[in-house]
Homo-oligomer: A and B are copies of this chain.
Amino acid sequence: MRNEELTELARQLRVDSVRAADAAGSGHPTSSMSAADLAAVLLAHHLRYDFAAPENPANDRLVFSKGHASPLLYSLYKAAGAIDDEELLTFRKRGSRLEGHPTPRLPWVDVATGSLGQGLPVGVGMALGGKYLDRLPYRVWVLSGDSEMAEGSVWEAVEHAAFEKLANLKLIIDVNRLGQRGPTRHQHDLDAYARRLRAFGWHTVEVDGHDVAAVDKALTEAVEVDERPTAVIAATRKGRGVAAVEDREGKHGKPLPDAEAAIEELGGPRFVTVRVQPPPAAGARRDRDLGPLELPRFETGTEEATRTAYGRALAALGSARGDVVALDAEVGDSTRTEYFGKEHPDRYLEFYIAEQQLVAGAVGLQTCGWVPYASTFAAFLTRAHDFVRMAAVSRAGINLVGSHAGVSIGEDGPSQMGLEDLAMLRSVHGSTVLYPCDANQTARLVAAMADLDGVRYLRTSRGETPVIYGPDEEFPIGGSKVLRGGVGDKATIVAAGVTVHEALRAADALAADGIPVRVVDLYSVKPVDVDTLNDAAGATGCVLTVEDHRPEGGIGDAVAEAFSDGRPAPRLARLAVRDMPLSATPEEQLHAAGIDAESIAAAVKLLVERIVAH
């Protein structure tokens, strides 16, 4: 396109952004208008994308990290002929796929955005996939706002992209000077951003973001840089083109006060369409079916840590499936993810201590068809909570594995103990939460979680636990195992992970005291096995849950929820970690927290005697 045509296109994008927000009665037109020239030049000259075949793996990726500029994105889709004007005006209405912030309900959106500072880290995942795994020539374009450069997650991504020399990653920063509530830290000081990015090893280009010829030149330069990631840092004006809002404070996140006048000021509606350049032909994907799955087998009666079983099972899964990748946050020796790395170094990605980038990397990779397993200490997954939350909005299929769960890690103390992870992961929409107690169970669950939908979480333990299941036992998702039980059981103990073994010891002690009890291994914390719990409750009348986790949000809540279906419920009681742990041995920790065999047996006796348990 000639520059005049580009300018026309940009004006159309502004007009359509104003129209969409006006029809919706809400939205962010001014944040769209600032980036319209950048988006016009990108769409017309640089993006390589087949809108008719969004699943084409060779397509460039376009991530609107400033997701609130969705009117601009949807206006781009209209200009590319992907949606029509009628659909554009359904923006933000019930039933429309043009949501307030973009989600993958639209086939051209790979990941949901709207929580700022996530687009670049997710783009790093996509770029890693293109460069190192799929070896495809696509480029990853990330449009970022200037405000969101304050998010630490952006700098995790900046660091990692430079370190991995992700020349296929192209960041465009729309420096429109104004955040939501006023000026940004650096306002129009483009060099403030450029200095920082260059210090991390990026190539930078500063440009007037409303000069289409200059933008075209900048994006061309970005495309040509092939040794390092590039950032095009563009000075723009929020609300550009409409004097009533341009570069003014207090105009964020609302329709223009007089849309009709604004559209006229912008020259009225236009009908420019763009023939977007298709991607180059992609070669066949690498074979992802490598051979039969041969999970490790552990002998019953021996002892093994579930984290170790996870590492070995993941390595085995990687030998069977070429689509499995493992992601580490500089703790692979502790989580045992390094076992995978030793066998499959080409599919092992090290993110160093940057948990947000770790999870974002997994989200980016799964958009490319990879099956990522991202691991760190369960406690440190909390660092990436917002990324996990947004992964659910993205309908992303990712595996998260948190090790060193609970007080049973021992001396390291509470900063290292995952005690809130079950609560966090259970609350994620559509998630699966698994918590194995032995090595064979772990191996089976590691394989089973690979192909589930949504966010899958596996919780592993640091210390060794007895192998109580045979290697051929099956563990369906949503199931549980009744490990002790018979006619005349007086109570049910529901446990998972390390507390299963404590529960079994308690059950044996109680049986010796003439109090037979049922023990349920609730390895699938979400979904939970409602039927087995109901059967047990019906048979025994009372249920005690015991968990190496806070009382809130974990196994106690999961079991209580199973009985929150309007039916008469059993008497319930729960043992959990109620105090702040101090340093002590694992055994001392379990006892101090009141979740060891002795505490369980005492609680069962109280419960059976119908005395309040806590």
Contacts and interface: CB of A to CB of B under 8 A. Distances in A.
A550 to B, nearest CB: 5
Contacts of A554: 427
Contact of A94 (B179, B180, B420, B584): B584
Contacts of A355: 151, 386
Given A411-B26, A429-B580, A566-B571, A147 B557 contact: no
A177 B575 CA distance: 43
Contacts of A588: 94
B385 A414 contact: no
Contact of A181 (B180, B330, B564, B567): B330
Given A330-B179, A393-B414, A96 B583 contact: yes
A471 interface: no
Interface string A181-217: 1001100000000011011100000000000000000
A114 B179 contact: no
Contacts of A564: 545, 556, 560, 572-574
Contacts of A551: 561
A612 B566 contact: yes
Given A420-B427, A572-B569, A580-B429, A353 B117 contact: yes
A480 interface: no
Interface in A478-492: none
Given A94-B583, A334-B180, A613-B565, A152 B150 contact: no
A379 interface: yes
A428 B580 CA distance: 10
A570 interface: yes
A416 interface: yes
A379 B393 CA distance: 12
A316 interface: no
A504 to B, nearest CB: 22
B380 A181 contact: no
A103 interface: yes
A201 to B, nearest CB: 9
A48 interface: no
A354 B151 contact: yes
B580 A572 contact: no
A356 interface: yes
Interface stretch (A307-315, A511-519, A603-611): A603-611
Contact of A566 (B556, B561, B572): B572
Interface string A127-154: 0000000000000000000011011111
A312 to B, nearest CB: 17
Contact of A92 (B24, B357, B545, B583): B583
B356 A152 contact: yes
A423 B553 contact: yes
Contacts of A573: 564-566
A101 interface: yes
A184 B329 CA distance: 11
B583 A99 contact: yes
Given A352-B179, A415-B101, A565-B612, A582 B152 contact: no
Contacts of A556: 561, 564
Interface stretch (A155-163, A264-272, A288-296, A438-446): A155-163
Interface of A: 24-27, 67, 92-96, 98-101, 103, 105, 112-117, 147-148, 150-156, 159, 163, 179-181, 184-185, 195-196, 198-200, 328, 330-334, 338, 352-357, 379-380, 382-383, 385-386, 389-390, 392-393, 395, 410-416, 419-420, 423-424, 426-430, 526, 542, 545, 550-554, 556-558, 560-561, 563-574, 579-580, 582-585, 588, 592, 606-607, 610-614
29 contacts: A27-B411, A92-B583, A94-B585, A96-B583, A101-B413, A105-B582, A112-B414, A115-B380, A117-B353, A147-B352, A150-B156, A152-B155, A179-B330, A355-B386, A383-B385, A393-B415, A423-B424, A426-B552, A429-B550, A429-B579, A430-B580, A526-B552, A552-B553, A552-B561, A560-B560, A564-B572, A565-B614, A566-B607, A569-B571
Given A424-B427, A427-B554, A566-B573, 13 more contacts: A26-B411, A26-B412, A92-B411, A93-B584, A94-B592, A114-B415, A152-B356, A181-B338, A423-B426, A545-B564, A566-B606, A566-B613, A566-B614
Considering the complex of A and B, which 5 residue pairs feature the smallest CB-CB distances, nearest first?
A152-B152, A114-B415, A560-B560, A199-B199, A423-B427
